[in-house]
Amino acid sequence: PDERSFAYIIFHYCKGAGRSAPDAPDRALALIRKMIQMHREGYKELLPSSHNKTNPIFAFTSVIDAHSILRRPDSGVVADELLAAMEKLGDNIEALKPNTYVYLSVLYAWSSCGTVEAGERAVALLQHMEDDMKAAAERGEDSMLRTTQRCYILAQTAWARSPSMNKAEGALKVLKMMEAQYDSGNDEAMPTVQAYAMVS
């Protein structure tokens, strides 16, 4: 099998007819884990360093989103697992280096799971993105992790759906991060009416 074989079945469980099965996200996750393991064992055709077939990022984010859309309590943990795998694989596979699209998927997962740590984890992801942007700017480069309005809204949503006693303070912290990022010159982070409404 090659990357297309796995991608086709994963998309079947995540976006196709197979997504109606109750265990569809689990089956897709098992397949992506098998891909990763086989690649680590030397089967490089699954995730070639250069490719012109399927984009492997979509296979990973599709699995994350399949968990998130059902608001499964494990969606955040699954997203973190696959993000860590992508970061490690990205050292050798350029197409798997996480970008804003990937981080949006992970933030969506934490905004959906409703766990007590969801808000804190979402803020940590935002901070990592902002740190990467700052470091890239100092090098005179563009960051692959540029934050957008949706990044901050998802982080506020993670707080809103969390049972944490600090949800109000957490949502306000995210708004202040958004304001600071916009003030620093990131027009894509301009605070919205929704962002302010999340703390009212």
Neighbour tally for 95: CB within 10 Å: 16
pLDDT at 159: 98
Beta strand residue intervals within the chain, DSSP E:
none
Q: How far apart are CA 182 and CA 146, in angstroms?
A: 12
Q: What is the pLDDT of residues 136-187, one digit of tens each?
A: 999 999 999 999 999 999 999 999 999 999 999 999 999 999 999 999 999 9
Of 126, 115, 122, give the one whose Cα is nearest residue 164: 115
Q: How far apart are CA 18 and CA 28, in angstroms?
A: 10
DSSP states of 29-48: HHHHHHHHHHHHTT-GGGS-
Structure tokens at 23: 């265990």
pLDDT at 50: 56
Q: Nearest 10 degrees: CA dihedral of 9, 10, 15, 19?
A: 80
Q: What residue has token string 């490690």?
A: 88
Structure tokens at 36: 């990763």
DSSP 192: -
Structure tokens at 105: 């998927």
* 8 Å CB contact between 148 and 166: no
For the chain, residues with pLDDT lower than 50 are: none
Treating both helix axes as pointing N-terminal to C-terminal, what angle do 56-68 and 24-40 enclose, rounded to 10 degrees? 150
Q: What residue has token string 């942007």?
A: 133
Q: Is 156 helix (H, G, I), strand (E, B) or coil?
A: helix
Structure tokens at 9: 């079945």
Average pLDDT value for the chain: 92
pLDDT at 55: 75
Report yes or no on whether pTM surpasses 0.85.
Answer: yes
Q: Is 134 helix (H, G, I), strand (E, B) or coil?
A: helix
pLDDT at 106: 98
